[in-house]
Amino acid sequence: MVMRTARAGLRVSAGQRRRCFGLLVSAGDVWACVLDMNRWRRQRGLRPVTGYQELCRELSASGPGTFGELDTAGARSVLRRYSDAWFATAARRKGGDVAARFPRRKRRLMPVRYYHGTFTLDGLRLRLPVSRGRTPFWVRLDRPVPYPPE
């Protein structure tokens, strides 16, 4: 398996900038929602929802459009990071690290990862996926991608 990552700047208008920050805020809302849900479950004596598949089931139960313009693929990238952080902490604790802490801090902005097949690249134009019923979100890259898209 070959994984390629590219970072590129965006050339955006004021409205596009607002939408980009809206996606980051929505991702932060997903993170905060998972933290709150697990806090409530802990207070009721239930086990926390930590597995990626369990978290995805909770996301699909919440329905489309719950987290603004953020689509399911973007929300799942946040859930994947939460699950990875939780299990990494559990492994550290099992190994004897008493200072290891489970994720508890809410974040206003959370980065979103889009994987192959979830976005469209057309020259210098990039289409980011958004929630169903929203207008398509096209932005321009500030430079060409360093390798040919497959």
Asked whether residue 145 is domain-assigned, the answer is no
> Which of the four pLDDT bands, split at 50, 70 and 90, describes residue 62?
confident
| Domain count of the fold of the chain | 1
Range of the domain at 53: 12-100
Question: What is the spatial distance between Cα 30 and Cα 77, in angstroms, rounded to a whole number?
Answer: 10
pLDDT (mean) for 84-93 = 95
Q: What local confidence, expressed as pLDDT, does residue 1 receive?
A: 60
pLDDT at 122 over 80: yes
Say if 53 falls within a structural domain: yes
Quote the percentage of the chain above a pLDDT of 90: 69
User: What is the mean pLDDT of the segment spanning 143-150?
Assistant: 80
Q: Is residue 120 within 8 Å of 126, Cβ to Cβ?
A: yes
Residue 23 belongs to some domain of the structure? yes
| 147 in any annotated domain | no
Q: What band does 34 get if pLDDT is binned at 50, 70 and 90? A: very high
Q: In this structure, is residue 34 part of a structural domain?
A: yes
Q: Is the dihedral of CA 106, 108, 113, 114 positive or negative?
A: positive
139 is a domain residue:
no
Is 117 part of a structural domain of the chain? no
The answer to whether residue 121 sits within a structural domain is no
